[in-house]
Amino acid sequence: MNTKKSNMNFGLRGWIVILYCILTYFIVTASKDALLNMAASSLAEEFGWNYTTMVSLNTVFGWVTVIFILFGGQAMRKFSPKWMAVIYGVIYTIALLALPKTTQFWMYVVILFLVTMINITWAQQLNNTITANWFPQKRGIVMGLTTIGLPLGSGLGPKMYALLMNQAHLSFSAVYGIFAAISAVAVIVAVLFIKDYPEQCGCYPDNDRSSSTEKVQAMMAETQKKVDESIWNAKLMLTTRETWLVILTCGFLQLFSNGSMSQMIPRLMASGYNPDQATNMMLVAAITACFGSAFIGWLDQMIGPKKATIVTHLLAVISCVLNIIPSTITVLIAIGFTGVTLGGSANFMVSLISKMWGRYSFSRAYPIIHAMAQIIGCCGVLVFAQVSNLAGYNWVYIVIATLSTIGIIATAFINMNAIEEKELRISGVRREG
């Protein structure tokens, strides 16, 4: 193993980027999962709205968000990903403050759309692009760290909501005011400390300080030049086999994680567990996922993103099989596997694209693959809600296990060198980064 690629020496500014991304992942996931797992059912009961429709809208809005992902991909090449993240963060904070004021269904629809869209574009698209710019070689281990915020939010969000509402007896407005305050902190950190590239603040990619300040400045100019010269336009991306294989494998992992965590509490309660037991079990999944995220990031760095992706899909299949067996022990083990899968599911899109397309073409490849994978991934809530409603949760896990198996096959067919080879054939120039 290359120790330069796997050590934890990220530098002060590098750690600030990592902690900012963890915080962003945490707040967008915590506030959204608290809404889908807990608050939505309360709103449905209070106003007589259909709960299945309320949570299924998340899938519809996930599809609509594809437009914003593609727009964001174009905008990132003209404007700053950092400042786009700041704008999205401000809108997200306002949406969280507005949620408790919801009294009409159309108001809920608008807020859920904003929560869904910004959840995807802020934490995943914009911040992941910044991460890839800062850590082109350490991407696996860094994504393993930044995505800790995702399972942490999934587990703590509903638990925080339940404790603050039921134990601390805070109002709905106060609880989401706390979520909004955390979101505001992430925005402030972005404004004060985050840059699109490490070279913009005198730092080094991967904190590799072997270069002089003058060389770093020259590297920044060269980076911008090579980003502009990348051959990877939309047509070339969509006519490349590896693009679609990466879309399938990442999309199915997202589908598993989105569906399993957003519907875990309703599923456990339908199996006979009380609300406290269900939220505690979800917290177990979240804690496991935090370790799982770091472990999968380490595994990615050790054996490469392709093999690590296959391992993660296998864990998803095992989790589904264990969930079908009617036993508390198997459910607890399944929750552990779910946590590890969730922890790793957000890592691989950045890792695979960084490895295959390189630093200079990442900003062109990522929005297209992210948008297409999102179409698949956002079906997770819909699949869990609709299939469970029609046929029960056992059939949900059969469907998910089948899709994860397809993900394994798709990953096995990925040629990790195909993109660089295609670049060489088209441009006649071998890639430098």
- Which pLDDT value is given to residue 157? 84
More confident residue, 245 or 339: 245
Closest CA to 292 of 242, 257, 245: 257
- Give pLDDT tens digits for 381-408: 778 777 877 888 888 889 889 999 999 9
Q: How many CB atoms lie within 10 A of CB 387?
A: 19
Q: Report the pLDDT value the prediction gives residue 68, as an integer from 0 to 100.
A: 82
Residue 91 has pLDDT above 90, yes or no: yes
Residue 1 is predicted with a pLDDT of: 43
Quickly state the pLDDT bin for 285 (edges 50, 70, 90). confident
Instruction: List pLDDT tens digits, range 40-62.
Output: 888 888 888 888 788 778 778 87
DSSP structural state of residue 200: G
pLDDT of 232 strictly over 50: yes
In terms of pLDDT, which residue wins out, 286 or 190?
190
Encode burial over 340-364: b for 16+ CB neighbours within 10 A, e otherwise: bbbbbbbbbbbbbbbbbbbbbbbbb
Percentage of the chain modeled with pLDDT above 90:
29
pLDDT at 327: 81
Mean pLDDT of 195-206: 87
Highest mean pLDDT among 108-117, 319-328, 358-367: 108-117
For the chain, percent of residues with pLDDT exceeding 70 = 93
Confidence at residue 274, expressed as pLDDT on a 0 to 100 scale: 83
Greater confidence (37 vs 148) lies with 148
| C-alpha to C-alpha distance for 192 and 310, rounded to whole angstroms | 39
Residue 341 is predicted with a pLDDT of 82
Show the tokens assigned to 142: 């860094």
Closest CA to 97 of 194, 175, 195: 175
Could you read off the pLDDT of 137-176 as tens digits, one per residue?
Answer: 787 788 888 888 887 887 788 888 888 888 888 888 899 9
pLDDT the model gives residue 211 = 61
Q: What pLDDT was estimated at residue 224?
A: 67
Q: With contact defined as beta carbons under 8 Å apart, do 176 and 31 qualify?
A: yes
52-61, 211-220, 244-253, 279-288: least confident range = 211-220
Tokens read off for 364: 């062109």
Closest CA relative to residue 255, chosen from 372, 89, 166, 363: 372
CA 138 to chain centroid: 18
Q: What is the pLDDT of residue 215?
A: 65
In this predicted model, which residue has the larger pLDDT, 280 or 255? 255
Query: Does the pLDDT of residue 195 top 50, yes or no?
Result: yes
DSSP state of 197: S
Position with higher pLDDT, 354 vs 93 = 93
pLDDT one-digit tens code per residue, 289-330: 777 777 888 888 889 899 999 999 999 999 889 988 878 888
Distances (CA, A) of 139 to 116, 209, 304, 320, 419: 26, 17, 11, 29, 18
Domains, the chain = 12-208+226-427 (1.20.1250.20)
pLDDT of 227 higher than 80: no
User: CA of 384: how far to CAs of 53, 153, 269, 280, 327, in Å?
Assistant: 12, 20, 14, 21, 20
- Is the pLDDT score of 2 beyond 60? no
The chain-wide mean pLDDT, for the chain, equals 84
pLDDT of residue 349: 85
| Residue 186 binned pLDDT confidence (cut-offs 50, 70, 90) | very high
Distance CA 86, CA 303 (A): 35
Please report the pLDDT score of residue 287 as a whole number.
78
User: Residue 3 has what pLDDT?
Assistant: 46
Mean pLDDT of 210-216: 63
pLDDT score at 204: 84
Residue 180 confidence (pLDDT) above 60 = yes
Return the pLDDT at 223.
Answer: 64
Most confident of 76-80, 336-340, 367-371: 367-371
**What does the pLDDT read at residue 266?**
75
400 vs 210: CA distance, rounded Å: 47
